[in-house]
Structure 1
Amino acid sequence: MTAETDKQPPQKLRKRDKRALTLMAIAALLTFFGGVVLAGYAAINYKYERGTEIEKGIFQVPKGAGLSTIADKLEDEGFIEDAFLFKLVTKLRGNEANFKAGEFGIEQNSSMSAIYDVLADGKAILYPFTAAEGLTSAMIVRSLDSVSTLVDDDPAIPAEGTLLPETYLTPRGMTQSQLLQKMALARTQLLDEAWEKRDPTIPVKTKEEAIILASVVEKETGIGMERGMVAGVFTNRLRKGMKLQSDPTIIYGITQGEALGRRIRRSEIDRRTDWNTYQIPALPKTPICNPGRDAILAVLNPSETDALFFVADGTGGHAFAKTLREHERNVAKWRKIQRERGLR
């Protein structure tokens, strides 16, 4: 083969060189713009991760709020400097749908990244609400109106005895109905668990009867250590077919659980109602309040005792008796204390 055949035409060489130069130029441009993009992204991330001079405070994420609303609200309230940047990085990281409704504590000088973590993964601020043992359902519903963090959605009054009195932690924006549902679920769960561990010899045969008796125990004593004994007395009376003769059941028949404000009259003791256990030889028709955990557990596993009677002893507790004669002496002592204290 001759040297002439090895040589390429100059025109072909020029075309090849142009293509190579074009590819090199494109590669250089891509490298340049890639560097610009990376530098920009690095700068954006630096601003997103950098702490800013803000005071600590509380930020509320409204229910159903989207990323734009949250970002603008954060900027308006001074927690971030750039809502657009917050939205951009959140979207780029695929975190747009991770926010939770509620109130959140933002620490001083937090970065946008830290603020995002608090709003997406942190624990919302919770406010305690305590329902006292022995309140009626109507009283509990009324007490919800004093809790400013709850939304008043005008809930219906739950059936008596269906709520569990205790302290509940609630986020701002929870409705009163939602809290009542939570209280009802707590009572159901407690009763279901306790029922499985009950003394099989107790005279109450259903969960509903257990709550009714527990409500009477709850109203008879506010002393935790006495609930088992009071439950034991009522258990003994039920086994013997005796009337419970509980004063709070008379009051419930008169006022539906509201304070009577005076001593019970003889005519009220003699008046038959669906709750007056001086007149009916059985449990009241319904619970007379919402009993607490201790009263429910006491009824399902009452203290072993021979006592059939009890009366106030003047110290906040009760004097228990096995016989009517002993009980009458205790009653006489209590009447004397009442006279000395000017009680009528």
Structure 2
Amino acid sequence: MIWRNIASNFLTLLIVILIAAAAAVAWAKHQFSGPGPSSVAQCVQVAPGASLNAVSKQLAEQGAISSSYIFRAGTDYLDKSRDLKFGSYMVSPNASMEDIVGVITAGGPSTCGTEVTLRIGVRENTMLLRDVDPGTGTYEEQARYVPGVEDKPQEIAAAEDQSDVRLRITMAEGVTSWQVVEALKAADFLAGEISDVPPEGSLAPDTYEVDKGADRSAILAEMARRQEAILTAAWESRPFGLPYETPQEALIMASIVEKETGVAEERPQVASVFVNRLERGMRLQTDPTVIYGITNGEGVLDRGIRRSELNARTAYNTYQIDGLPPTPIANPGRAAIQAALNPDTTEYVFFVADGTGGHAFARTLEEHNANVARWREIEAQRGQETDSPVQTGE
């Protein structure tokens, strides 16, 4: 009888323990997958080589999670404890522990924290220090300067020495390979020599995250790898009947499209004009190629094209030569490459600036001349008339 009571009590206790354990598991699961304690966005940083234990303690201290133990247990249960990715990531207000695990194990570009960015532009390069405001989730500029022209602000110099700061290089569409090389040479947070300027058009405009002391040649190699991948994919999916025999010819066209318009939506239309001209045996007659022949891609031509330069027969003067110039005239971005290989279907063979930043397109010379007259009026009103002919078709 005694043993029966003991057994009964033991079973009762075991049931209570199991119910309590199940309740604890359910509560922990709710804590892991339910809304988190932070009512504002949080910048979560994962240091290089950081352990799950260190990250969980950091998250608890900054109020992003309610329990470091539950966070570790949940991460282990998802089998992601070894998948932490170095970087700084913005997580939304009230993000669950499960959401945060997903963010810090997925990786990808950092989305918050302090960053120093070298922006390589067509007209100038800038170094920019930015930091994310967790309350708004937006970057706020802290300091900037033009390398080689201005002294480096102390804030940027100090930030470059911080172990958790992100260093980025952002290359704009339409810059030349010479401009990229010169910008990398002037970036004192990089290392290594550059022996040669890469072929024009071979570098992908994009944002590149780098480490302090990164090798300049390795960065150029990565830029070239990305551009090759973009061009190969676009070439392989091109429609039938385009007037290019090789991917290089398509890249040359993309560079012309890139330099001819700053309006993204216009790229396929601009490409259609040049494709139509090639197919009809018309000269391209585009100013950017002439300018490249003058500058060799080394800097910007801060004046109009002279009549003598338009009359000179050079390899890049498409007013004087048939077909495409021998090389690209800049590094085109993905959108320009896509436009060159997927142009709109139009009958346009002329275009000229329309005064809004875009262009007026025409099918006939009569239409084009009317558009030119309107542009000349705008030029006269602005006091900007030059000896250069209008784009494509005079």
TM-score greater than 0.5 by the shorter chain: yes
Percent identity between the two aligned chains: 50
How far, CA to CA, are the matches of 2:186 and 2:296 in structure 1?
A: 22
How far, CA to CA, are the matches of 2:340 and 2:196 in structure 1?
A: 28
CA deviations over 1:80-105 (Å, ceiling 9, x no partner): xxxxxxxxxxxxxxxxxxxxxxx989
CA deviations over 1:153-207 (Å, ceiling 9, x no partner): 2342101111111111112221111100000000111111111100111111100
CA deviations over 1:253-298 (Å, ceiling 9, x no partner): 1111332211111111111110111010110011111111111010
Shift of 1:214: 0.6
Tell me the TM-score normalized by structure 1: 0.63
1:298 corresponds to which of 336, 339, 347: 339
CA deviations over 1:109-130 (Å, ceiling 9, x no partner): xxxxxxxxxxxxxx98642211
How far, CA to CA, are the matches of 2:277 and 2:294 in structure 1?
A: 24
Residue of structure 2 in register with 1:18 after alignment: none
Are 1:175 and 2:175 an aligned pair? no
Alpha-carbon spacing, 1:307–1:152, altered in 2? closer, same or farther (3 Å): same
Secondary structure of 1:145 counterpart = helix
* Match runs of 1:1-344 below 5 Å: 126-257=166-297, 258-344=299-385
Contact 1:129–1:170 under 8 Å retained in 2: yes
Alpha-carbon spacing, 1:339–1:104, altered in 2? closer, same or farther (3 Å): closer
Q: Give 2:284's aligned amino acid.
A: L
CA deviations over 1:295-320 (Å, ceiling 9, x no partner): 10101110111111001111110000
Contact 1:212–1:288 under 8 Å retained in 2: yes
Residue of structure 2 in register with 1:78 after alignment: none
Structure 1: state its 5+ residue gaps.
Answer: 1-56, 62-102, 106-122
How far, CA to CA, are the matches of 1:227 and 1:270 in structure 2?
A: 28
Q: Give 1:341's aligned amino acid.
A: R
Shift of 1:59: 8.5
How far, CA to CA, are the matches of 1:207 and 1:234 in structure 2?
A: 16
Contact 2:181–2:194 under 8 Å retained in 1: no
| Higher relative contact order, chain-length normalized (CA < 8 Å, sep 6+) | 1
Secondary structure of 1:189 counterpart = helix
Residue of structure 1 in register with 2:150 after alignment: none
How far, CA to CA, are the matches of 1:294 and 1:227 in structure 2?
A: 8
Aligned residues: 235
Structure of greater Rg: 1
Tell me the TM-score normalized by structure 2: 0.56
Alpha-carbon spacing, 1:162–1:236, altered in 2? closer, same or farther (3 Å): same
